[in-house]
Structure formats: structure tokens, C-alpha cells
Structure 1
């Protein structure tokens, strides 16, 4: 019985879907931070939002962060800190990345426990932003604030996955 087989009418116009590549994010921490659970959490959260993630793992030298950003031209660099030294180390990394014209349009966000005092004073926050960081997320902020920030990457929720996959932790 042929009724179970559907034949496509070649004359019928079907609207084509435009496939937009998924946005790419690089996730890393500072050279002095050996924590990994935060990086895995961020990778999973970003992947849920449609990103392809390159997770560089803990204790990443800034030259490797810069190299990965230049090599992959990501839409977003996420720098996380749990040991409290982020406010000291991250501005140097952001400045090094911003010095590379190949990734001039890339967004840089930071978050986590950025100081040993547990809060980021206004002066340190301004230093982060003036070093080239686009947004600073504190542990007190709900994760929804970060997800809302990610929505600027147009159509994140509507993007179709590509064949390119995240590299996982190296």
C-alpha cells in the first residue's frame, strides 16, 4: 500500500531555514586558580544556551587564553575565579586579549569570587571594566542575569547546532 509513503512535490515551495552557526565561547580561569567545578558548570550552562564551548581548564597562562581566542575567534570569553585572586589577575588577561585586533569584537565577561574579601569594591570593578572586560558578575547575582546577558548573541535560542563541537576540558 503506497499511502504510507509521502512523495515530495518538486513544484511546491518550502521555505528554507537559514542555518546560523552557534556562537562560540572560550571558558578559562586565572593562572593561580586550580578549581574546575566552576568551569564545568559554566560550560554546561553555555551549551544549554546554544554555545559551542572551548573549556581551557584550570591554571591557564594568559598567553594560552590569548592564543585560543586568536585561533578560534570566539564570540565570548568567560573568565571565572573561585580562589579570590581574579580581581588581581583578570585585568592583565583582558588587556592582553584586547591588544589583539583579531578578536577586537569579542565580548569578555568575568565572574565568581573575584576577591578574598568576598565582594568587589567599586574601584576594582571600574579597573576590570577599564581593562577591557564588558561585564562583571558577582556570586550574589542570580544566574539569570548571566543568561540574560547571553541573549545579546542574536538568536541564541533559535540557533541550530553545527557539526563543530566544543573541545571539552583540555
Structure 2
């Protein structure tokens, strides 16, 4: 599943680019669009049961929005243990942005890709376990493969 931090409401091009990169690397993608509010992210996770959630940022608010955003899936029964990663422009401090990845991992992200190439993301996704069918889902649907090889 892919989306952006909530303040990136105008960047469809990035979401479509990320979508294409993941599909070219043989991942099934559920694209919930840019600028998604935290509650909609959790609703989408509950509905789709993706194997991973990828959040992107280009406006430099990735750290601020991401730190807030990750709390919602981590409080949810379905999203609690789901791999969630964030990448892109995390802040506007230049070299001082180096502190953000560790803080975002501490906040609950499984991986952080600060200004990284798409290859770093796809390599990481290949390390995740493949989806396995679940006996039951809190929302009554089976888990979809949404970002696995």
C-alpha cells in the first residue's frame, strides 16, 4: 500500500512514479493516493491487509507528519505489527536532517529512506516475508498482497 504524508496533497506524480516503480519490481500495489488523513490510512489498512505500507514525502514535512501519522496504525490491531516505512524529503534542515531517520524508527516506522533511491526501497521490500493467508480478519476480508514480491 502506498500513500504520502497528509501535507503532500498535491503530488500525484510522485505517487504514480512510486506505484510504477513497485509494479515494475513485481509488487502488487494498493495506491490510496496522496495527502491521506491518518484515519483513512488506518481504514485502508483494515480493509486491504497489505503486506507493507510505504509512505512518501517530498515537501520536507516527512518527519513532522510521519511522526504523527505512524501513531494511528500502531494503535490499530491490524496495523500494529505491519511493516510501515517512510521515505523522501523528511525535513528542510539540510545536513541536519540526519537525525530524523533514527527518530522516525523510534516513533514506530520499520524503515526510513531519507532521500534514497527507489532501489533502496525495493531491496528492502524483498527482505520482507511473503504474505500468508489469514484465517480471519478483524474486518472480515482476507489479506491482499500489496507490496510483496
TM-score greater than 0.5 by the shorter chain: yes
Q: Which has the higher helix share?
A: 2
- Counterpart Cα distance in 2 of 1:165 and 1:75: 6
Structure 2 unmatched ranges of 5 or more:
132-143
Aligned to 1:112, which of 74, 77, 88?
A: 88
Alignment of 1:6-155 (within 5 A): 26-33=1-8, 34-119=10-95, 120-122=97-99, 124-139=100-115, 141-154=116-129
Whichever of the two has the greater Rg, that structure is: 1
| Equivalent pair of 1:84/1:118 in contact (CA under 8 Å) | no
- Counterpart Cα distance in 1 of 2:64 and 2:51: 24
What is the RMSD of the two structures over their aligned residues, measured on CA atoms?
2.2
- Counterpart Cα distance in 1 of 2:123 and 2:6: 28
Aligned length: 132
Cα distance per residue 1:90-113 (max 9 Å; x no partner): 111111101112233311111111
Structure 1 unmatched ranges of 5 or more:
1-25, 157-163
Q: Which has the higher strand share?
A: 1
Q: Post-superposition, which runs of at least 4 consecutive aligned residues in structure 1 deviate over 6 A?
A: none
Using structure 1 for the length normalisation, give the TM-score.
Answer: 0.70
Using structure 2 for the length normalisation, give the TM-score.
Answer: 0.78
